[in-house]
Chains A and B, each alone.
Chain A
């Protein structure tokens, strides 16, 4: 919550003119600062840095954590970060508002398996809600209003035959969603791992996998840069994309190492870390699923005009 205030100020101060951190070291390495969110989604980039995939491309990468995509986008535009990670809907919103961004690598995707995805809607053990359709007319907690989680929850409710316009969405940070559901303050909540495993440990039930239910290979997040940086530093961008794709493939092939790297940048309970469902890390963006998100967000009124996907996507 207080971090959200910080993010608000960050938007304002970064805009004034943060200085870039990009440069070349004596050994010919390009220095890059990358804005990431300390969540399971970005495990591949941490693993890739550890394995030296970025050094191979003559990139000296520094990862900096931020509160969310909304704080990282202004950072990338202002040049504080050369690359950043953000969820797909935030990137669509930025693009539709005319912010010149370019996605350069895939980030994270849904597993596509209902009930076995890294994000889902949870309810209390004894809740009368048993399906997505029952969410109509209820109070549902999400971590960000008018973003990927409201869009995808509304989509699965609509598909199940419910009217998503009757849902009251309430914004709470992920850890508080689990407690608010337990306390009965909200009827249901959308959470991602590791909170999904924590909620399951408290006896909560999963009623729908909102990412998998929206599109099987839903592209939930991507790595991006500013159009200006992409034009002026083609070599660095190509190197980043190559290293990032290699990291995504490595993480997909070595899930145990991806799990292990989590402890280097999150404070996660080891038991939860072993049990939690990992997302998919394909190296290609599922363009059709991004179009689905764009259409849904337009339908919900989150986007006021269609974003330009050819300009945004790699």
Chain B
């Protein structure tokens, strides 16, 4: 098992390299560099000497291959470089943005996973009866609604009209909350974004879960379990659920991989300082180091999560580890 995992990790190094070099070259195709983006912010008035100085300052006076090699060489030394827009090391910038994204994604994925599981099971057990219809219809509605619209409507209802929850931001600014008050304050700020993002994931999970349950319920071992005289709850929890979970785990593995990418839309609507907005900003401002830094960290996370998912498969379905000779 561990040898398999090790092989997988080793195999991921070339793909990491391809991702980084590809991203670097792709961004060269976009017209304009970070000095052009800075000029756009300034509103002009930059003379040629100033712009040449800035290009030298941002290291843009070198050729593309030289910059790529420089970047890779620094990466080998675990140095992600310096962010043009933030004037700080990229690692620091990413670390500052990590908590909001991780918190948002963990909260909404957990929300979606738990309720997706629950509603998926309810729908499957009542297939083609009214609970199934209600759940499936709602799921479709959530899935089809754009998240920015959901977010904005939630703000209009809960923040503008009812004034129950804050309209945006990560915490109350300048209130000086500490301890439990601060935790509650941050939690209040994350309720609407979590629900907005979570409802879309929820729709996916519940549909997968429902389909998977229905499939497993028809299999022979379920009939055997029932024939043994097990009650329905035990059949569902011990036998059906465990097998029906496999597609869910696959899915959460795939989605957790994109976690660090964050959600540009939800982060923008709720003014959360997450990695999605950072990546967007980095593209608009042609901040190559920051963008590559995010790509690098995301790629690492994808590799790590896939590794965990492999282990989890083996645990849910003992045949997997054996068949692959681990």
Q: Do A and B come from one complex?
A: no
